[in-house]
Chain A
Amino acid sequence: MEFFDAIEQIGPVRLLKASFYAYPIVNALHIAAIGALLTSVVLLDLRLLGAFAALPKAEFVSTFRRIAVLAFAVAALTGLTLFSVRASEYATMPVFLLKMGLIAAALANFLGFVALQRGRSDGEVTAAGLRAAALASIVLWSSVLLCGRFIGFV
């Protein structure tokens, strides 16, 4: 707990805690990043599941994957910033810990899928594996969104 208390005492974090403009701006950036992340992830997964078949798959997937990775980086950075303001409180919240676990699972799913894809010379994963990864991705990231939302309520 002392570690989280120490985070709250960092100079810029203390400023953010009392700020009128900065906190809502960071909050807005976090929401924007989540929107971009969820949108790009869901579109990318739907493409893997067979939607938008008129668009070339490889380009579609690599484009939206790049957007998703960038959006995740912004979401993680702004999320850490929001967390720091009341770290010791959030760190004890079951729904916050569940959200972190779900993010870890979603990232593992993503890395596992990429590793599987790289491991095959033709760059194609078996249809069943691909569908499972895409569906898991949609479910996991949606659950992350829901948990994040609930942090404000519990």
Chain B
Amino acid sequence: MQMFLRGGLAALLLVLAAIPALSHHGWAWTADGFFELEGVIAEIYIGNPHATLDVDVEGETWRVELAPPSRTIAAGFTEDVAKKGDEVTAIGHRSRDSNERRMKAVRLVIGGKTYDVYPDMAPPA
């Protein structure tokens, strides 16, 4: 009996330890209000676990997180529509940590074209 209790306790601890894992890839780390970033694309990554852009804003590099690749590509944003050096406007939510140059975008505007990578969360155009 005692063995089962101890085993159960150990199992419970393992489950509790795993709970923070469920909150990943969400929006928990981002601030509530919309945030807009304008800069020049320094790096494009479209792939798993999710796409990212590195954007140069007056000499500082920002990391813009996008959706998983399938969703990003479905929004029309592929490696063919943008390249390093292009001007980009990213609209979304920045990190709650104001010292961190990181945001998660719901919309990108490049060369006059709009890509809503999270259409259901994007502001009215």
Bound CA span A27–B24, Å: 13
A142 interface contact, C-beta 8 A: yes
The digit string for B93-112, where 1 denotes a CB below 8 A from any CB of A, is 00000000000000000000
0 or 1 for each of B46-62: is its CB under 8 Å from A? (1 = yes): 11110000000000000
Give chain B's interface secondary structure class. Answer: helix
Given contacts A18-B69, A152-B25, contact A85 B10 (CB under 8 A): no
For chain A, the bracket of interface size reads: 20 to 34
List B contacts of A46 (CB < 8 A).
Answer: 6, 10
Contact stretch, chosen from A51-59, A64-72, A107-115, A125-133 = A51-59
* Alpha-carbon gap, A54 to B25, bound state (A): 43
A153 and B18 CA atoms in complex are apart in Å by: 15
Encoded as 1 (CB less than 8 Å from any A CB) or 0, chain B from 74 to 96 comes to 00000000000000000000000
Q: Is the CB of B6 within 8 A of A51?
A: yes
Q: Report B22 CB to chain A, min CB distance, Å.
A: 11
Q: Which of A35, A52, A86, A149 contacts B3 (CB 8 A)?
A: A52
- Cβ of A3 under 8 Å from chain B: no
A121 lies within 8 A of chain B by Cβ: no
Most buried by A among B10, B29, B46: B10
18 contacts between A and B (CB under 8 A): A17-B48, A19-B48, A20-B69, A23-B49, A31-B21, A35-B18, A42-B14, A46-B6, A46-B10, A55-B3, A89-B45, A142-B17, A145-B17, A149-B20, A149-B21, A152-B24, A152-B25, A153-B29
